[in-house]
Amino acid sequence: MLSLDEVDRALISHAKYVWQEANRLLREGIPYSKFKLFKRKWELELYTFLSDLLGELLIHGKDCGFVGEVDSKWVCICDVFDGSRNFYEGLKYYSYNVALAKDDDIIYALCIDLENFDIYRAERGRGATLNGENLMKISEEFLSSGVSKGIVLSSNTSIPGIPTMHFKCSSLELCALAKGVAEVLVGTSWNEDIAAAYLIALETGLQILDWDLKPIRLPVRYREKLRYVAGRKDKIEKYSNMISVMKKWLTLGTNIVLMTAILSLSTITSLLNVLFN
């Protein structure tokens, strides 16, 4: 039977290699457009060595797409350099993320903060850790200290009238919530970006709900952009009005965009009629 310790060692070694290569590319002045090609290469390397460890495998990578056996019982969902633009712009917050799903249930997750090499890890039903320490205990200490009171994290979205904190790195934003540095998180992200952090958050006792406040089961075999709110049950209830306002704001924005498009199409049609009639 496969030991997940073997997977840990292989992934941590690969994360170190990715970090070293990323720094080399930055020193050499490789443009960001080409850097993204290396992200694809690193995910394909991940596919190769995980296939050796797990056997038949489908990889669902942010940059490499889908590679491997479509019907495999093992699926790897990954983004090996989330927040890469932060890294290229000299900012904080970028991470290495791998989640493993067996029979479509995510059972293992590893998220490594590549700036300081903090390691978030989770196994389904066995809790989550930060550098080997119980992450739920760390979270409770943060929350009980009051330092996270009133702090709202956001991922790739804005909330009218509410000041939020964001990292431009969805995986680390969700891990920070699991650590207890904020009360709630509202965001939109692709499933590859947050697959690992998703399990880490769940194993820390958090809920991850859609904007209708229904539980999310993260898809592993296809891409989906998720709209989610995460936090402990009482914190989500505390901010439920904020979530409702945000939904209305999004709906209004969508309607305005559609109206603008319709009016623009009408204007173009009228102009064509004038020109050709």
Report in angstroms the alpha-carbon separations of 2 from 7, 138, 270: 9, 29, 67
Contact 104, 77 (CB under 8 A): no
Domains and CATH numbers, the chain: 4-237 (3.30.540.10)
Residue 274 in this model has a pLDDT that exceeds 90: no
- In whole angstroms, give the CA distance from residue 145 to residue 131: 21
Give the tens place of pLDDT for each residue, 150-191. Answer: 899 999 987 777 788 999 999 999 999 999 999 999 999 999
Whole-number pLDDT of residue 255: 47
Residues 6 or more apart whose Cβ sits within 8 Å of residue 118: 112, 130, 131
Give the tens place of pLDDT for each residue, 191-239. Answer: 999 999 999 999 999 999 999 999 999 999 999 999 999 999 999 988 8
Q: How many CB atoms lie within 10 A of CB 157?
A: 17
As given in the structure block, the two tokens for residue 222 are: 């296809």
Closest C-alpha to 81, from 63, 93, 62, 96: 96
Q: What percent of the chain has pLDDT over 70?
A: 87
Mean local confidence (pLDDT), 97-106: 96
Q: What angle do CA 167, 172, 173 make, to 5 degrees?
A: 60
- Choose the weakest-confidence range: 35-39, 140-144, 251-255: 251-255
Stronger pLDDT, 39 or 263, i.e. the higher one: 39
What is this structure's pTM? 0.88
Closest C-alpha to 218, from 204, 232, 199, 200: 199
Residue 261 in this model has a pLDDT that exceeds 50: no
- In whole angstroms, give the CA distance from residue 229 to residue 212: 9
Stronger pLDDT, 171 or 147, i.e. the higher one: 171
Whole-number pLDDT of residue 160: 74
Mean local confidence (pLDDT), 96-120: 97
Contact 47, 64 (CB under 8 A): yes
Residues 6 or more apart whose Cβ sits within 8 Å of residue 179: 130, 135, 138, 139, 142
What is the residue type of 221? Answer: R
Residue 80 in this model has a pLDDT that exceeds 70: yes
Residues 6 or more apart whose Cβ sits within 8 Å of residue 126: 203
As given in the structure block, the two tokens for residue 9 are: 């060692």
- In whole angstroms, give the CA distance from residue 64 to residue 256: 35
Whole-number pLDDT of residue 157: 86
Mean local confidence (pLDDT), 72-82: 97
- Choose the weakest-confidence range: 15-24, 27-36, 92-101, 189-198: 27-36
What's the chain's average pLDDT? 89
